[in-house]
Amino acid sequence: MSNVPPIPQAPQAPSPTAKPIDPREGRYKAKAVTPGGGDKPHLPHEFGLSKQNTPELLVHLYVPDLQRTFVSPLYFSKEAAPYSEERLRALGCVDLTTLAGIDSNEVDVEIRYDWYDGSWRMKVQILSGGGVFHTSNPVAGGGKEFAAIVAATLGRPANLAGGDAGAATNGAGGAGAPKPPF
């Protein structure tokens, strides 16, 4: 046995293909950040268009267990809108223009990592029962213009009141959106 101490080794950098562990994947309670006031009452939430020109709403969610705020994108293509509307209803949102009520309810969110385009990407999804980034193309007119774009895309106003996802809102409750296929 030698009296020579071992040579210290520098810590190894994590592998670029190693799945991230912070924050841990799982389900957490979250609440949408309370929108501000003034001339942009929706902030910090963002109205915009994705790279594919799909209306998108970036919802900022605070997760108390992790003491962090995360962003969950909601898309309003004809296919995705019923799920986004269901998630907004779960948060308590009753108006797409002002996001009134978005901070009313605590919801469950799922944080997970998906391998996409050669790297791991965090996905934060609002579970409706059925890092910071910004929208690629902000909508200058705020909620009013965003709601108009969503209505033009869907051929109807956004359905935040429930009921038939293909019909205009009439204030009547309903079963909500069908379970997503993913």
Parse the chain into domains and list their residue ranges.
Answer: 26-154
- Best CA proximity match to 145, nearest among 44, 41, 47: 47
Residue 24, token pair as written in the block: 């841990």
pTM of the model: 0.66
Q: Quick one: what percent of the chain has pLDDT higher than 70?
A: 78
Task: Give the separation between CA 161 and CA 158, rounded to whole angstroms.
Answer: 9
- Residue 133 pLDDT greater than 70, yes or no: no
- Residue 10 pLDDT greater than 90, yes or no: no
Task: Give the separation between CA 122 and CA 143, rounded to whole angstroms.
Answer: 26
- Residue 165 pLDDT greater than 70, yes or no: no
Q: Quick one: what percent of the chain has pLDDT higher than 90?
A: 51
Mean pLDDT, range 81-107, rounded to an integer:
93
Q: Please give the CATH number for the structural domain made up of 26-154.
A: 2.40.50
Coil/strand/helix, residue 24? coil
The reported pLDDT for the residue numbered 116 is 86
β-bridge pairing 55-63 and 46-49? antiparallel
The reported pLDDT for the residue numbered 131 is 35
